[in-house]
Structure 1
């Protein structure tokens, strides 16, 4: 978005960065922000908390990050990180172990990308996020160990193959269920039990590809609770959390199984509607708008929401589609408690 567009929608650079950090905070356990020119690295409180350190207790530079990487992972991580810096790789995404304050190692998933460049096109800033994947990784490693044990037994203990295979099959099944459960947790917003943003974006990409191939009508619906900050300020965050959960529960019951309903960020929600045209999406939005008010009759303030709906268009990429939807929500928020088609 250029400067003129930012002025048109009342958005400042600081607000954009605050929104980006808020979105990253929803889907990650820690955020890092690297100024490549100065080598200064700002890390969120969640990053320190994940590793057991007090906030801002470590030097804010790249060497701090390097110092906590497990020696067994260090060479691979540095090689792939440098490949991204040199332009030999299109993405930087790694899973590795980080040393916690107590000396133990924690498995994390690390994703980052360039977000600012100088006039010559050289990157000057990189932002990324860490996510704690220790539980899922340990379950996966344990499953791998059990499989290796099964192969060894098959080679050396032919007379015990039948009994041991069954026992290990059951263990593998239980561990696979743990991996599946951990994966499901990583795709779910803990407060509302809806899909999180990462899971929604994966579903959106799949539906977009299906639309490109077959042209099936597909729509999106986005809404934002009105005056939500006032609820938090006047009644406290527990009441705000209760309102979010109630709206999610009430509206989920009004949607189809195939609709992907996600918490987009804060008090903002989004729905992917396969095989739905713009008119049907607008009609659904009106139904949902009425349901918001009755989501929880015992709340101290009445709830309302502003809605935006948009349908996929031939030749339109996902980015412009989401911007069109977001722009429609911006217009709806000017009037509040209404539906804007775009």
Structure 2
């Protein structure tokens, strides 16, 4: 008995073990799917067919990103592979490897996507005995993304999670340092590169930065990037740096919205970071016009994380308020004191010579070290590290001065904390 070609193809389509979707690339609507696709997401046919693929795929957000991916599928001229997560009816996530091809039929363009459940494969990878693979997997799963930079050949491994966070497929980001560097926001690039190079040179204990990183659509995400040298050659020179990236866009947007509402920090009552940027620029212009010096003193509490860990964040807030009150009471009325962020503070002294700023920093350091803490039983004192930069010696612009003070602060930390360091000449 002969079976028609259509019936045979339909039977094969329905009995394939992997999920198969026929998609309209213009609208992202699913035109048809097989039984394996319905089983994979636990949904009936009428809740899948004629619905957008965006309703299933957790890692494709909005028609704009879909249009970008659709174009990449066309340009692939073969198979475009994407690692993502499908939504299951139960609320669970189904990790999938999606292979998509474009084809024409009767003058119309279609996509066919094969979505393979890779949950078992990921579970097996976790059991691999190779120590480096286990470490990479663990770090990757613990963050939004992992990067691994080989300094010898300048190649950089970008984890699938990092690529997914930025909207790329697994084979789209070239494994070079330039791929990352060209996507850092121009206003952040100098600061971030300097922090990374200072860590590689041994001037910082670790590399850490918050900055804006461009995604595939050209939009910028705020990220918290942390890394450390993890391998050196026989001469002790670094040859490998590994780091983790966390998407903090939502947090940053929330912070920016709050900063727009007020000029003062709600916890300490000091002027906030937004006001600092405005006032520092204003004071710097005045000093430039009148040929006056300006001192910038950046300082933070040593081992503040230990205080939060031992006594709780409520006590940590109490410590920050008391420190802010003490500092405010011991600076000139003409000086500006800001809470820069976290346990960091910034003091701007317009018209003050270098000797005065250094003396003020030493006086504040000694005062904070002598504070008693009867309100926190078990806390036997705190200390602060200070970094000082001067205009015009250490920079002509606000950003240059801040970078110089920040480097001096890290040098103070590296040399034992509870000390004042002056920036090196620009």
**Could you tell me the TM-score, scaled by structure 2's length?**
0.42
User: Of the candidates 325, 330, 352, which is equivalent to residue 254 of structure 1?
Assistant: 330
Partner of 1:304: 383
User: Of the candidates 337, 347, 360, which is equivalent to residue 284 of structure 1?
Assistant: 360
Partner of 1:340: 421
Q: Are 2:271 and 1:195 equivalent residues in the alignment?
A: yes
Give, in angstroms, the shift of residue 5 of structure 1: 3.6
Once residues 208 and 320 of structure 1 are traced to their aligned partners in structure 2, the CA distance between those partners, rounded to angstroms, is 12
CA gap 1:254/1:4 in 2 versus in 1, 3 angstroms? closer
Give the total of aligned pairs: 198
Aligned to 2:346, what secondary structure does the other structure show?
strand
Partner of 1:7: 200
Aligned to 1:16, what secondary structure does the other structure show?
strand
Structure 1 regions of 5+ residues with no counterpart?
22-32, 45-124, 134-181
User: Of the candidates 382, 392, 400, which is equivalent to residue 320 of structure 1?
Assistant: 400
Once residues 220 and 361 of structure 2 are traced to their aligned partners in structure 1, the CA distance between those partners, rounded to angstroms, is 43
Once residues 324 and 210 of structure 1 are traced to their aligned partners in structure 2, the CA distance between those partners, rounded to angstroms, is 20
Q: Is the 8 A contact 2:295 2:354 kept in 1?
A: yes
Give, in angstroms, the shift of residue 290 of structure 1: 1.4
CA gap 1:311/1:235 in 2 versus in 1, 3 angstroms? same
Structure with the larger helix share: 1
Give, in angstroms, the shift of residue 254 of structure 1: 0.6
Q: Which has the higher contact order (CA 8 A, sep 6+)?
A: 1
**Could you tell me the TM-score, scaled by structure 1's length?**
0.52
Give, in angstroms, the shift of residue 296 of structure 1: 4.6
* TM alignment of 1:120-135, pairs within 5 A: 129=253, 131-132=256-257
Partner of 2:173: none
Partner of 1:231: 307
CA gap 1:4/1:340 in 2 versus in 1, 3 angstroms? closer
Q: Is the 8 A contact 2:287 2:350 kept in 1?
A: no
Aligned to 1:327, what secondary structure does the other structure show?
helix
Q: Is the 8 A contact 2:284 2:350 kept in 1?
A: no
Structure with the larger strand share: 2
Give, in angstroms, the shift of residue 43 of structure 1: 8.8
Give, in angstroms, the shift of residue 10 of structure 1: 4.0
Partner of 1:108: none
Partner of 1:270: 346
Once residues 218 and 399 of structure 2 are traced to their aligned partners in structure 1, the CA distance between those partners, rounded to angstroms, is 31
CA gap 1:41/1:340 in 2 versus in 1, 3 angstroms? closer
Once residues 4 and 217 of structure 1 are traced to their aligned partners in structure 2, the CA distance between those partners, rounded to angstroms, is 29
Once residues 337 and 324 of structure 1 are traced to their aligned partners in structure 2, the CA distance between those partners, rounded to angstroms, is 19
Aligned to 1:190, what secondary structure does the other structure show?
coil
